[in-house]
Amino acid sequence: MSQAETFTEFWSFYVLAHQQLATRIFHTIGTLSGWSLLAAAIILRRPWLVLAAIVVPYAFAWFSHFFVEHNRPATFGHPLWSWLADQKMVAMVLAGKMGGEVKRCMANQSNAATT
């Protein structure tokens, strides 16, 4: 997805790369674990937990891409947008809105393919 010029364009690509519920669950577990580890690093004054706060979310996410979605993580092409999109996706998962967002993006993709 090197042609995305805006985050909005990237978001649709990102959503379509996370169509499987299991992928979104792995991402959510990883991201929430990462934030928890970062909080623990600050509260407990354990700097090494900051490294764990970075590694754990990526491990969960990459596992889901390689073994559930069978695609390449967007992190490699757009690291900052990927991180921002992950935060947005996890918020939408927790709000119960991500399934609808996947359907919306899939419909947009289908409409674009037929025009």
**Predicted confidence (pLDDT) per residue in 85-104, tens digit:** 999 999 999 999 999 999 99
pLDDT per residue over 32-50, tens digit each? 999 999 999 999 999 999 9
Q: pLDDT category, 2, cuts 50, 70, 90?
A: low
Measured CA to CA, the distance from residue 111 to residue 91 in angstroms comes to 27
Domain ranges of the chain: 25-110
Distance from the Cα of residue 102 to its chain's centroid: 13
Residue 1 has pLDDT above 70, yes or no: no
